[in-house]
């Protein structure tokens, strides 16, 4: 049986995606080769500063949004958020970060770095953790390179994927999928070729139930559900 394909859309700067990572890890542990997660990026914070300035102008501005993120994080004991999040450092955009991550993903696809080591997934988590716990401006190319160097990644090869335009093509593909599936929330999980979706802060048991339903009732078989 073919694995259940899950399209996972998120923004690296989104606190809900930061929270949700533990659920993805649990899915991979429990379902292993029964699922295949395809990572895509949605630019919720593509124009972060202007977006927050406008949406939080009457709610305390960046300080108000910072408090909101901290209040959200306090409900989950598996993550840590710096008390100056979104105030001491405000990345202008997550798009640069997504581009850099796609370059790393391409290195896996081309076999330049071992896919078995899940480097792409590890770097996504590292970028999130560095931003939310250490206030690293992961939208800045110098910071991205510094993190990649610490992880022992091949810098020249990463840069080559960006310079060649291939990483941009992957980012553009994400944008096409975002439009096709009308994705407006981070994170969003899409199953069953777009017929099922889960948006936002969805608990693990809900995600698991959707996967088990697909495993027991494949899309090409009739179901009374």
pLDDT in tens, 12-48: 999 999 999 999 999 999 999 999 999 999 999 999 9
Q: Is the pLDDT of residue 62 over 80?
A: yes
Q: Is the pLDDT of residue 223 over 80?
A: no
What strands, in cross-sheet order, belong to the sheet with 4-10?
Answer: 35-41, 4-10, 188-191, 196-199
pLDDT at 219: 54
For residue 91, count CB atoms less than 10 angstroms from its CB and return exposed for 0-12, middle for 13-18, buried for 19 or more. buried
Largest CA distance in the chain: 54
8 A C-beta contact, residue 138 and residue 131: yes
Confidence of residue 224 (pLDDT cuts 50, 70, 90): very low
pTM of the predicted structure, to 2 decimals: 0.92
Contacts of 208 (CB under 8 A, 6+ apart): 27, 30
Enumerate domains of the chain plus CATH numbers. Answer: 4-216 (3.40.30.10)
């Amino acid at each position: 049986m073919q694995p259940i394909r899950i399209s996972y859309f998120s923004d690296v700067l989104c606190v809900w995606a930061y929270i949700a990572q533990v659920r993805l890890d649990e899915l991979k542990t429990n379902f292993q080769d029964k699922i295949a997660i395809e990572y895509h990026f949605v630019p919720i914070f593509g124009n972060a500063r202007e977006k927050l300035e406008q949406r939080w102008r009457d709610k305390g501005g960046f300080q108000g949004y910072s408090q909101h993120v901290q209040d959200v994080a306090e409900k989950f004991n598996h993550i840590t958020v710096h008390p100056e999040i979104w105030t001491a450092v405000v990345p202008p955009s997550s798009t640069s970060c997504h581009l850099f991550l796609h370059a790393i993903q391409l290195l896996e696809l081309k076999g330049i770095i071992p896919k078995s080591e899940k480097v792409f997934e590890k770097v996504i988590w590292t970028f999130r953790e560095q931003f939310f716990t250490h206030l690293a401006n992961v939208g800045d190319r110098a910071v991205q390179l510094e993190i990649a160097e610490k992880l022992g990644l091949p810098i020249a090869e990463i840069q080559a994927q960006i310079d060649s335009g291939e990483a941009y093509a992957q980012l553009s593909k994400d944008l096409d999928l975002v439009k096709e599936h009308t994705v407006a929330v981070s994170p969003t999980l899409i199953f069953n070729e777009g017929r099922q979706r889960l948006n936002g802060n969805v608990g693990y048991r809900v995600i698991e139930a959707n996967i088990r339903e697909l495993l027991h009732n494949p899309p090409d078989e009739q179901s009374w559900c």
